[in-house]
Amino acid sequence: MWKLDRKVLGVAGAAVLGLGVLALVPQVSDAQDAAPPSEKVRRCVNGPGLDTHVLDEETLLVQDNGRSGLVVKVDGCRLNPHDILVFEWHGTQQICDPVDIQLSVRSTGGFRSHCFVQSVTPVGAAEAKVLAKQEFKRKAS
């Protein structure tokens, strides 16, 4: 009798466990359906027709026709939204890495200040759109 009860309890336990797993499966699939698909972020932007937005004195947002963008960190110059940005290309007219461009700032007096591109970070179109709406932030001296 004891062996029979043990088998019955084992089968009953497995059935309860199986029902618990089946109850969780719809919740997992609903959570996956509710999650937004991840945005594909392009690693590079094409040079001609770039839109630029100066975020602060060391950070520039470069967009490729609104599809995606790059956050470019520079050193050695002070970016200003009113100055002219001069891009010089090395090789192709794509920006993927810091070595792909030489960036300069031409101030109102015609003085040209070279910038050293420290990093290039890809961002998606949604994040680039949010960054483009930011006001210019001047660093505290």
| 123: pLDDT strictly greater than 50 | yes
For residues 54-61, give the mean pLDDT.
96
- pLDDT digit string (tens) for 62-105? 998 877 899 999 999 999 999 899 999 878 889 999 999 999 99
Residue in the block written with tokens 């970070």: 121
d(CA 65, CA 81): 19
User: What average pLDDT score do residues 115-139 get?
Assistant: 91
Cβ proximity of 84 and 106 under 8 Å: yes
Task: Judge if pTM exceeds 0.85.
Answer: no
